[in-house]
Amino acid sequence: MNIVFTIIYLLAALIVVTGFYIQSNKYLRSMVMTQAFQSLLIAIIAIFLGFELKQYTFFILAVLVILLRSVLVTYFLAAKIPKNKNYLYESRLPTTYYLLVDLAFIVISIFIVYSISFIHIVSRIFPASNIILFPLLLFFQGLFIIASRRRTIAQILGYIEEENSLILMGTFILPVPIIIESSVFLDVLILVVIFSIISIEKTEHKPVEELRG
Amino acid sequence: MIYEILILIIPLIAMAFYKNIKITSIIGAIIELFLLIPLYFDLSNSGFFFIDHITYIFILMVSSIYLMSLLYSRKYIHNIGNKGISENVYYMLMGFFYVAMEFALMVNNYGFMWVGIETTTISSALLLITEKSDISLEATWRYIIIVSAGVTFAFISVILIYYAFGTLTVTVILSEGIRDSLAVRLAVGIALVGFGTKVGVFPVHTWLPDAHSEAPAPVSAMFSGVLLPVALYVLYRIYEIYPMREIFIWAGTISVLFAAIFLGYQRNYKRMFAYSTMENMNIALIGLSTFTFAGLVGSLLLLLSHSFGKAGAFYSSGNVYEMSGTKSIDGVGGLIRNKASAASMLLSSFAVTGTPPFGTFFGEFLILYSVLSIHFYAQFGIIVLSLFLAFVSINFNVSKMLFRGKSEYSQSGINTIIPLIAAIISIFIGIVFLVVYHEIL
């Protein structure tokens, strides 16, 4: 494996670490900024791949990720954080709990990759590798944030993480046409705008009697 | 190609006249319906658009229900007291929602189909808060987050299709015939979970009753009548690549069974109709999954007839809600005194529960026949039992609303006629099918 691919491996692992950091974090602003950093890491991976494989679409992807995820989405989310109340109260569980959950995700991802079938979906970019493990892990982390948090902003961060995992997966397996990738980015951006409209009046989500059954 | 482009552009032109959007949207929707006549004789099967006879039925469904919903909205939306969005924004979002659905149906690319389905979520989300309340805000959020998370899952399926074929063009992939590879099987299986979220497959259906019950009646009609079938269409196009019959039919059967169980204890009539949609969509999924001619015809007939029947049911629900001010089944009684509303509610509930001679009955009949023809006896038994349970639950509750107690509900005007027309179209579809295609039965 050459040095560029080794760096990409390390960056992919670092992305998963940022996912864990978002998961276990209580502070909203810190969570939002980590999301921006996570997106930036994806952009850096795309740039490395662009140079290594000499494909300009990776550069377009990198620009889109930086512009839409790291800047615009972060701006919209950060603007929604109350000035005097920049932390989450509902997340009181100890960090070890999240560590355990993440370990479970690692086991599930390894199981999917090796036992079920993904091992046969050979990465076109990293043949004979298990790099697909990282986006899978990130996907589960995103889903877990959506399921475990009550705050609107935390749930949207989970959703963005899920979308980041798909970009990473697409990049590692075989990048889909850039026009479709761009539409995915715009979808997320519009969803964040919708979120900002809803979150004006609804910042927390609990079970509602009228919506049971 | 020109008709497809016009279908996508006309609603956008209607939006340009923002101040008169209420009128221009309706005019646009009428033009759209007329455009379907030349479109029938000029179906695209290559290039950017792909429309065959199956797609055409879905387009017809979407255009018809869109027009009916716009007509119904005129008075209904105007009468809402606490609006979350203005009337003009409502019509604009309805236009975007419609275009997104037509785009998802007509486009010849799995990636863009995914984009179309995701756009339907974005464009319809704010429609849910038209009748603004804390509950509708919660339902909107659940709709956005559950459906988006689910549909994101479907994007893995798109990546895998691209991995397996090197293209996302529907006609190219389908022309290669059924191809069995691990990537393809994974793609089809993941699509069931991903797009299945929007179709209402158990257990990823949870957004469905919340969104349907809190959306205003014309939006619920669009959701039930056409949005879910559009998602089902996309799922079917992926299923065609490699039919995983056993998994899909079991998923549909279990979903129908759970929908029937949920129907048994509903107290809110809009939620009841939402679960009925889940039941009908999954029966259609089973029919399509049998991959037989009878199953396909049955599913299309069921979906077409159901779209009008269910639209009628939700319009009737809207009328009942306007008159009674409650969505509780026990809160409504003596509806029979208002003849038009009672007739539309009764006919609609017959339509959605597959009572003869409604088109849904013949559709379900053909689907059950196709399930038997491929020797899926256990599934057949479960489906028949579920259909019976659903029929009893819905009609019992509607009967309670009609005949129990006394009340002085009164309503007149076009909004009492529209649900009646929708329910009658559902019967008409059944009768036309019986007369013209009786040899298929």
Q: What Rg, from alpha-carbon coordinates, does chain B have?
A: 20
Res A123: pLDDT: 61
Residue B348 has pLDDT above 60, yes or no: yes
Answer yes or no: do B138 and A205 touch at CB < 8 A: yes
Res A131: pLDDT: 80
**Is A119 in CB contact (< 8 Å) with chain B?**
no
What is the rounded average pLDDT of the residues B128-145? 85
Shortest Cα–Cα distance, A112 to chain B (Å): 11
What mean pLDDT is reported for chain A?
Answer: 79
> CA angle A188-A190-A195, nearest 5°?
90
Answer yes or no: do A174 and B163 touch at CB < 8 A: yes
Chain A residue closest in CA terms to B154: A166
Chain A residue closest in CA terms to B184: A121
Residue A79 has pLDDT above 60, yes or no: yes
What is the rounded average pLDDT of the residues B401-413? 77
Res B230: pLDDT: 96
> In this predicted model, what pLDDT tens digit does every residue of B165-207 receive, in sequence order?
888 999 999 988 777 788 888 899 999 999 999 999 998 888 8
Answer yes or no: do A176 and B162 touch at CB < 8 A: yes
A50: tokens are: 């662009």
What is the rounded average pLDDT of the residues B41-56? 87
Residue with token string 């805000």? B137
The model's confidence at residue B146, banded by pLDDT at 50, 70 and 90, is confident
What is the rounded average pLDDT of the residues B84-110? 93
What mean pLDDT is reported for chain B?
Answer: 90
- Please state which of the ranges B24-38, B88-102, B395-409 shows the lowest mean pLDDT: B395-409
Answer yes or no: do B115 and A194 touch at CB < 8 A: no
Chain A, chain B: beta-carbon pairs less than 8 Å apart? 110
> In this predicted model, what pLDDT tens digit does every residue of B412-437 receive, in sequence order?
678 889 999 999 999 999 999 888 87
**Is A183 in CB contact (< 8 Å) with chain B?**
yes
What is the rounded average pLDDT of the residues A37-60? 89
Q: From the candidates B143, B146, B157, B163, which should be mutated to test the interface with A, based on the most A CB atoms within 10 A?
A: B163
B217: tokens are: 């009646």
Residue B129 has pLDDT above 80, yes or no: yes
What is the rounded average pLDDT of the residues A28-45? 91
Residue B273 has pLDDT above 90, yes or no: yes
Between CA B269 and CA B332 the distance in angstroms is 10
What is the rounded average pLDDT of the residues A198-204? 67
Determine the 3-state secondary structure of B133 from DSSP.
Answer: coil
- Does a structural domain hold residue A119? yes
A199: tokens are: 């979150």
> In this predicted model, what pLDDT tens digit does every residue of A170-186 receive, in sequence order?
888 877 777 777 777 77
> In this predicted model, what pLDDT tens digit does every residue of A142-170 receive, in sequence order?
888 888 887 888 888 888 898 889 888 88
Res B138: pLDDT: 85
Residue B166 or A44, more confident: A44
Res B375: pLDDT: 92
What part of B 251-290 touches A (C-beta under 8 Å)?
Answer: 262, 265-268, 271
Residue B310 or B409, more confident: B310
Between CA A138 and CA A167 the distance in angstroms is 11
How is residue A66 annotated by DSSP? Answer: I
Residues of A in contact with B266 (CB under 8 A): 213
- Does a structural domain hold residue A32? yes
Res B66: pLDDT: 96
- Does a structural domain hold residue A172? yes
The model's confidence at residue B30, banded by pLDDT at 50, 70 and 90, is very high
Q: What is the largest CA-CA distance in chain B?
A: 65
Instruction: Give me the residue spans of the domains in chain B.
Output: 1-243, 244-441
Residues of B in contact with A177 (CB under 8 A): 111, 168
* Amino acid type, B95: G
- Does a structural domain hold residue A211? no
Residue B56 has pLDDT above 90, yes or no: yes
The model's confidence at residue B85, banded by pLDDT at 50, 70 and 90, is confident
Res B415: pLDDT: 84
Q: Residue A205 in contact with residue A195, Cβ under 8 Å?
A: no
Between CA A122 and CA A109 the distance in angstroms is 16
Chain A residue closest in CA terms to B214: A211
Number of compact structural domains in chain A: 1
How far from each other are the two terminal CA atoms of chain A, in whole angstroms? 54
**Is A77 in CB contact (< 8 Å) with chain B?**
no
**Is B213 in CB contact (< 8 Å) with chain A?**
yes
Residue B411 has pLDDT above 80, yes or no: no
**What percentage of chain B has pLDDT greater than the value 90?**
62
Catalogue the long-range contacts made by B98-102 (C-beta closer than 8 Å, 24 or more residues apart): B98/B11, B98/B29, B98/B62, B98/B66, B99/B8, B99/B11, B99/B12, B99/B123, B101/B62, B101/B226, B101/B227, B101/B230, B102/B7, B102/B8, B102/B59, B102/B62, B102/B63
Res B440: pLDDT: 64
- Does a structural domain hold residue A208? no
Between CA A190 and CA B122 the distance in angstroms is 7
- For residue A84, give its domain range: 3-202
Q: Residue B190 in contact with residue B160, Cβ under 8 Å?
A: yes
Res B90: pLDDT: 94
Res B316: pLDDT: 93
Shortest Cα–Cα distance, B197 to chain A (Å): 14
Residue A117 has pLDDT above 60, yes or no: no
Nearest to B407 by CA among B349, B316, B315, B330: B330
Q: List the single residue in B138, B156, B267 with the smallest CB-CB distance to A169.
A: B156
Residue B367 has pLDDT above 60, yes or no: yes
Res B179: pLDDT: 75
- Does a structural domain hold residue A185? yes
Res B228: pLDDT: 95
Q: From the candidates B133, B136, B159, B168, which should be mutated to test the interface with A, based on the most A CB atoms within 10 A?
A: B159
- Does a structural domain hold residue A53? yes
Residue A82 has pLDDT above 60, yes or no: yes
Q: Measuring CA to CA, how many Å separate A165 from each of A134, A181, B271?
A: 8, 13, 34
Residue B16 has pLDDT above 60, yes or no: yes
- pTM recorded for the entire structure: 0.92
The model's confidence at residue B126, banded by pLDDT at 50, 70 and 90, is confident
**What percentage of chain A has pLDDT greater than the value 70?**
79
- B335 CB-side CA count, 13 A: 27
B64: tokens are: 């018809």
What part of B 116-175 touches A (C-beta under 8 Å)?
Answer: 118-119, 121-122, 125-126, 129, 134-135, 137-142, 144-145, 148-149, 152, 155-156, 158-160, 162-163, 168
Res A171: pLDDT: 84
Res B363: pLDDT: 94
